Structure 1
Amino acid sequence: MTNILFAAGPDLWAEYEAPLRTALDATGLDYQLAYEADPESVDYVVYAPGSWLQDFTPYTRLKAVLNLWAGVEKITGNPTLTVPLARMVDEEGLTQGMVEYVTGHVLRHHLGMDAYIANPEQAWRPVVPPLAGERPVGILGLGTLGLACAEALSALGFPVTGWSRSPKTVAGITTLHGSDGLSEALENAEILVLLLPDTPATRDLLDTERLAQLPRGAVIVNPGRGPLIVDDALIAALDSGQIAHATLDVFRTEPLPAEHPFWAHPKVTVTPHIASETRVPSASRVIAENIRRGEAGEPLLHLVDRAAGY
């Protein structure tokens, strides 16, 4: 019997219990799935940030922790967690949702749609945008989500430059890495998409100096992590015209406080962390497959590199 503890809160338990059982039934495993369990009996923990479970020491039989979200910054530093940790990579739901969000907002800014959507004076302004091939797009972060977005935008004709911390080769995409590569990626990006994880190496990455490296009038789309951008530096860049607009889906504090200047800034679009929600049915299948693999002695998918933080 494989014992699985769902340690992700009562509301999520109500959403996930039936889909998880369906996905686990399909694996043929003999399992027990529960919201409460004797720690010494638990083989796998299904986890979400903010869970009541913070001390893993009593879980002496534990084989792996399976995170429900892509972000793992709230658990990677837990010193009591010594077993493998897998993050959520859900290409059916999470990845496709991110591709749709990023593609939609890149096209919105590329086509200048805001001028027509908000046009109370009924002004006739026939401004023709360049074609996609004349609009360089930069993507910081070439993990599963960044790569999928880069390929989608490239397929639409945008010249895409992707930057990652380590070297990568992707057909049809200009790939850069390292500090010199970051400067080059920024200098060429008329639209910049941020899809990096929140780690000590990426926190405050877009500060005053790096925002100044972007072409004047560039647009930023951030569905990655809030701490990637220095808020005050971004506001100053928006006020000066260095940045034309910022579409932000993630923030240092969520929900974004009512008094935060992003809410009222005319050049900021705030979306409430909706860029890529985990879809329960497909995420349940990802969790079930990893448990099946663990019980079969196969390598787990989407393991987190604790040293890198993702």
Structure 2
Amino acid sequence: MIEILFSAGPESWAEYEAPLREALDGHGLSYRLSCDAAPESVDYIVYAPSSGLRDFTPYTRLRAVLSLWAGVETITGNETLRVPLARMVDEEGLTAGMVEYVAGHVLRHHLGIDAYIVNPGHEWAPVVPPLAPERPVTVLGLGALGSACAKALAGLGFPVTGWSRSPKDVAGVTCLHGEEGLKTALAHAQILVLLLPNTPATKNILNAGTLARLPRGAAIVNPGRGPLIDDAALIAALDSGQVGHATLDVFRIEPLPAEHPFWAHPGVTVTPHIAAETRVSSAARVVAENIRRGEAGEPLLHLVDRDAGY
């Protein structure tokens, strides 16, 4: 009998219990799924970093922690966690949602749609945008989400440059890496999409210096992580016209405080962390598949590199 502890909060339990049972039953597994299993009996923990569980020492039989979140930066440094940690990579739900969000906002900036939606003077002022092949887009971060978004944008006809810390190969995308690669990727970015993880190496990757490398008037879309951007530097770049607009879905503090200057700035669109919400039914299938793999002795999917932080 497999003992599975659900540690993601009572509201999530109400949403996940039935889909998880259905997915686990589909694999023919013999299991007990609960929110209150005795620590010494637990084989797998279905986990959300917001759950409050921080000490994994009592879980002496634990085989793996399966996160319901894509972001795991708050747990990777936990020294009591000595078993494999898998993050949520859900192509059916989370990835598809991110691709739709990114494609929608890139097209919005590319087409200049805001000028027509917000037109207080009722001016007849047609501005014909360039076609997609004339609008270079850069995606920083070529993990599962970044690669999917880069390929989707390339499929729409945009010339897409992708940058990552280590070499990657994504069909239809010019892939760069390293410090010099970052400089080139930024220089080509009329629209810049941020999909990097939050690590010490990526914190404030968009700062006064890197923002200055963008083409003047570039648009930024950040559905990745809030700490990727130096907030004060971005405000200064918007005020000077170096950055034309920033669409931000993630922030250092969430919900974004009412007094934060992003709310009132005419060059900022705030969305409330909605770009890639985990979809319960498909996420449950991802978790169940990893438990099946664990029981079959197969490698787990989407394992976190604890040293890299993602």
SS of the equivalent of 1:120 reads coil
Residue aligning to 2:129:
129
Residue aligning to 2:4:
4
SS of the equivalent of 2:23 reads helix
Residue aligning to 1:230:
230
Give the 4+ runs in structure 1 shifted more than 4 A: none
> 1:234: how far off?
0.1
Instruction: Give distance in 2, aligned partners of 1:34 and 1:277.
Output: 24
Is 1:31 the counterpart of 2:26 in the alignment?
no
Is 1:163 the counterpart of 2:190 in the alignment?
no
Could you tell me which runs of 5 or more consecutive residues in structure 2 were left unpaired when the two chains were aligned. Answer: none
SS of the equivalent of 1:213 reads coil
- Output the amino acid matched with 1:289: E
Q: Cα deviations across residues 76-99 of structure 1 (Å, max 9, x unaligned)?
A: 011100000000000000000000
Q: Cα deviations across residues 71-127 of structure 1 (Å, max 9, x unaligned)?
A: 000110111000000000000000000000000000000000000001121100110
> 1:52: how far off?
2.2
Is 1:42 the counterpart of 2:45 in the alignment?
no
Residue aligning to 1:76:
76
Instruction: Give distance in 2, aligned partners of 1:284 and 1:172.
Output: 32
Residue aligning to 2:54:
54
Q: Aligned Cα RMSD in Å? A: 0.4
Give the number of equivalent residue pairs: 310
Residue aligning to 2:298:
298
Is 1:281 the counterpart of 2:281 in the alignment?
yes
> 1:171: how far off?
1.9
Instruction: Give distance in 2, aligned partners of 1:97 and 1:241.
Output: 31
SS of the equivalent of 1:262 reads helix
Instruction: Give distance in 2, aligned partners of 1:230 and 1:150.
Output: 24
- Output the amino acid matched with 1:184: T
Instruction: Give distance in 1, aligned partners of 2:191 and 2:287.
Output: 35
Instruction: Give distance in 1, aligned partners of 2:35 and 2:249.
Output: 31
> 1:3: how far off?
0.4
Instruction: Give distance in 2, aligned partners of 1:80 and 1:179.
Output: 34
Matches for 1:94-105 after TM superposition, within 5 Å: 94-105=94-105
Is 1:66 the counterpart of 2:46 in the alignment?
no
- Output the amino acid matched with 2:183: S
- Output the amino acid matched with 2:172: G
Is 1:117 the counterpart of 2:134 in the alignment?
no
Alignment TM-score, normalising by the size of structure 1: 1.00
Could you tell me which runs of 5 or more consecutive residues in structure 1 were left unpaired when the two chains were aligned. Answer: none
SS of the equivalent of 1:278 reads coil
- Output the amino acid matched with 2:6: F
Q: Cα deviations across residues 142-169 of structure 1 (Å, max 9, x unaligned)?
A: 0000000001000110000000000112
Is 1:191 the counterpart of 2:191 in the alignment?
yes
SS of the equivalent of 2:45 reads strand
Residue aligning to 1:250:
250
> 1:50: how far off?
1.7
> 1:224: how far off?
0.1
Alignment TM-score, normalising by the size of structure 2: 1.00
Instruction: Give distance in 2, aligned partners of 1:171 and 1:18.
Output: 38
> 1:180: how far off?
0.4
- Output the amino acid matched with 1:288: A
- Output the amino acid matched with 2:74: K
- Output the amino acid matched with 2:71: G
Q: Cα deviations across residues 197-231 of structure 1 (Å, max 9, x unaligned)?
A: 00000001101000000000000000000000000
Residue aligning to 1:210:
210
